[in-house]
Amino acid sequence: MKSIFKPIKVNLIKKRFLKGLIFLLIPIVSNSQNLGDETYGIASFYSNHFYNKKTANQEILKKKELTAAHKYLPFNCLVEVINLQNKKSIIVRINDRGPYRKGRIIDLTEIGARKLGIKKVGLSKVKLKIVGFEKELMLIPYNHLVLEGNPRFSRKFYQKTKLKYRKKYRLKKRIRNKKYLKKKSKNIKKKKVKK
């Protein structure tokens, strides 16, 4: 009987070792954290028992501050949150980790949930855009009027053109934290030299 069980144990040990080795060889995919990156997901808001307690950033969580929790974005990162159902948007600062429920991407404070219109609903689909780092706003939004459709001419009446506001961004002129900006000029110079 001893001879029957020994090979089984050795095979199990070999399999576990190989699984561990394969896990180490697989490259770890990290999420990008560059200026202007966009992600989509479901937003929720903090429960009442989380307030007046320390966050992961060692700050005290307050209801009337525009802060939020995100799983991997760096602390003091500024993120624009856009509610995709009613097109309302706010800019929040990341100071906590979470949410830990599957499918949720960000946890907002009470005032942030009210401004986005999530407070009554509970959950909402949102779009996140990184607009700054280390409490400094680097991307400034400005609105453009865009035609939704061409004007139609008729003998009886003239139908007005449909105008729509589309939010676009420009880079702030004076940025203190330039390490977060992508350096494209070097790549462009190299391509010109090769041609």
Report whether pLDDT(151) > 80: no
Predicted pLDDT at 186:
56
Element (H or E) spanning 115, and its range?
helix 110-116
Comparing C-alpha atoms, which of 136, 93, 133, 134 is closest to residue 111?
93
Q: Return the number of other C-beta atoms located less than 10 Å from residue 71's C-beta.
A: 14
Among 17-26, 52-61, 68-77, 173-182, the least confident range: 17-26
- Percentage above 90 pLDDT, the chain: 52
Among 33-37, 148-152, 184-188, the least confident range: 184-188
Domains, the chain, ranges and CATH?
A: 38-138 (2.40.40.10)
Pair 50, 110: CB distance under 8 Å: no
Written as six digits, the tokens of 83 are: 């509610």
Average pLDDT, the chain: 81
Rg of the Cα atoms in the chain: 25
Predicted pLDDT at 14:
64
Written as six digits, the tokens of 171 are: 């880079």
